[in-house]
């Protein structure tokens, strides 16, 4: 390649030397043509046009910079930090209303665009300094909270719609692993950060609105009660590591807000619309076919309940409210939350682990 370039350059140089007189005459003709066409006034006029273009560009740049700084200032004024928690509100000041129950999937209907009644009261906002719960995950409702580390089998991933999470979130850099890896560390890891919540400035209206793609446009709208909307940030993060045997869900911190109660749709050519936030029914994670779910660890609680099996076939249990061991015959076990209901009768040696209001059978 280099040799061919050298040869071509040498040939061009030889051609220029042989046609030196013709090239000189052509250069003089081009120079005289330029001198006759472009006079000094024409060149000065060209320079003037260039200067005018530069001035207009600088003016537009200043306007763009001012607009961007105004938007950043407005966003900072309408954004509350994660540590800025509101003061508790006395019950006497809260409107008398009940939280709507989650409808079934067949009855999912959005709320009207404009609500004529006050928004329902949400659950009290969470205190970031409150101790985290140490009870294991009994179900998956799509609203994980607290420091949790839990293993899910492929069947449980399918039952939970691929571990659906309803929190609005920003995607963080993850790890491009293989979903068929043997361990979670080498699997495909996705990380997310909670986008917080858009809430009403009123001390009575406790609506919790899910942040959309354009939070600034949401903040320009008003709540149905007429108050101003603010955005509360949240530092809750979670990760999902998928590998051949299922997935490992891990989260840290606690949310600085309650669950969402409404959606705020802000189309460009239409007015803003409020819709009720609808989620599916929680999926139970307790099953005799999946004892791996008992290996749930709360990383921040020393009183966490961990069921482990070592090489000596031994089990270590902590915070067990009740252990019932059946050697022979049938045993009827009642649920703690329903004195009239009983678990099915089982034969043979079985170990029953009670957590919260559930008896989890684990066959030895």
Over residues 108-120, the pLDDT tens digits come to 334 344 444 444 4
3-state secondary structure of 146: coil
Instruction: Name the burial class of residue 345, with classes exposed (0-12), middle (13-18) and buried (19+) by CB atoms within 10 angstroms of its CB.
Output: exposed
Question: Does 190 lie in the same domain as 48?
Answer: no
Rounded to 5 degrees, what are φ and ψ at 277?
A: -85, 120
Q: Is residue 280 part of a domain?
A: yes
Question: Does 333 lie in the same domain as 298?
Answer: yes
Q: How many domains does the chain have?
A: 3
pLDDT over 90 (residue 52): yes
pLDDT over 70 (residue 253): yes
Cα 103 versus chain centre, distance: 24
Question: Does 272 lie in the same domain as 128?
Answer: yes
Residue 193 belongs to what domain range? 114-284
Question: Does 320 lie in the same domain as 195?
Answer: no
pTM of the model: 0.44
Half-sphere exposure of 287 (CA within 13 A, CB side): 12
Question: Does 354 lie in the same domain as 257?
Answer: no
Question: Does 37 lie in the same domain as 178?
Answer: no
pLDDT single digits (tens) 282-340: 888 876 344 443 444 444 443 333 333 333 333 333 333 333 333 333 434 333 344 44
Question: Does 160 lie in the same domain as 230?
Answer: yes
Q: Point out which residues pair with 222 in neighbouring strands.
A: 228
Question: Does 267 lie in the same domain as 173?
Answer: yes
Instruction: Name the burial class of residue 218, with classes exposed (0-12), middle (13-18) and buried (19+) by CB atoms within 10 angstroms of its CB.
Output: buried
pLDDT over 70 (residue 241): yes
Question: Does 339 lie in the same domain as 279?
Answer: no
Q: Is residue 346 part of a domain?
A: yes
Q: Is residue 72 part of a domain?
A: yes
Question: Does 358 lie in the same domain as 259?
Answer: no
Q: Is residue 66 part of a domain?
A: yes
Question: Does 229 lie in the same domain as 304?
Answer: no
Q: Is residue 83 part of a domain?
A: no
User: Among residues 254, 284, 314, which one ends one of the domains?
Assistant: 284
pLDDT single digits (tens) 209-237: 899 888 888 888 888 788 888 898 998 99
Q: Is residue 1 part of a domain?
A: no
User: Among residues 284, 310, 342, which one ends one of the domains?
Assistant: 284
Question: Does 279 lie in the same domain as 299?
Answer: no
């Amino acid at each position: 390649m280099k040799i061919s370039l050298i040869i071509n350059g040498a040939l061009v140089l030889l051609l220029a030397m042989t046609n030196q007189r013709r090239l000189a005459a052509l250069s003089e003709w081009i120079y005289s043509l330029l001198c006759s066409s472009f006079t000094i006034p024409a060149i000065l006029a060209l320079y003037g046009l260039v200067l005018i273009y530069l001035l207009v560009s600088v003016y537009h740049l200043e306007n763009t910079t001012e607009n961007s700084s105004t938007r950043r200032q407005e966003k900072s004024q309408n954004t509350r930090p994660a540590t800025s928690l509101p003061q508790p509100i006395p019950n006497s000041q809260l409107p008398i209303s009940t939280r709507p129950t989650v409808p079934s999937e067949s009855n999912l209907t959005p709320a009207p665009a404009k609500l004529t009644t006050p928004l329902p009261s949400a659950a009290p906002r969470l205190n970031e300094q409150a101790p985290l719960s140490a009870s294991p995950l009994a179900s998956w409702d799509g609203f994980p909270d607290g420091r949790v580390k839990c293993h899910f089998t492929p069947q449980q991933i399918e039952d939970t719609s691929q571990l659906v999470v309803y929190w609005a979130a920003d995607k963080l850099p993850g790890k491009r692993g293989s979903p068929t890896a043997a361990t979670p560390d080498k699997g495909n890891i996705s990380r997310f950060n909670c986008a917080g919540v858009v809430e009403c400035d009123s001390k009575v209206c406790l609506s919790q609105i899910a942040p959309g793609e354009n939070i600034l446009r949401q903040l320009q709208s008003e709540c149905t009660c007429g108050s101003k909307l603010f955005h509360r940030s949240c530092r809750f993060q979670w990760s999902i590591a998928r590998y051949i045997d299922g997935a490992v869900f891990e989260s840290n911190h606690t949310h600085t807000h309650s669950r969402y109660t409404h959606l705020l749709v802000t189309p460009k050519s239409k007015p803003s619309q409020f819709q009720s936030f609808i989620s599916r029914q929680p999926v139970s994670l307790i099953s005799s076919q999946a004892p791996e779910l008992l290996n749930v660890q709360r990383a921040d609680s020393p009183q966490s309940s961990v069921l482990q099996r070592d090489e000596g076939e031994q089990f270590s249990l902590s915070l067990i409210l009740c252990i019932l061991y059946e050697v022979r015959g049938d045993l009827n076990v009642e649920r703690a939350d329903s004195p009239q209901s009983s678990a099915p009768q089982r034969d043979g040696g079985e170990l029953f682990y009670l957590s919260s209001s559930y008896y989890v059978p684990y066959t030895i």
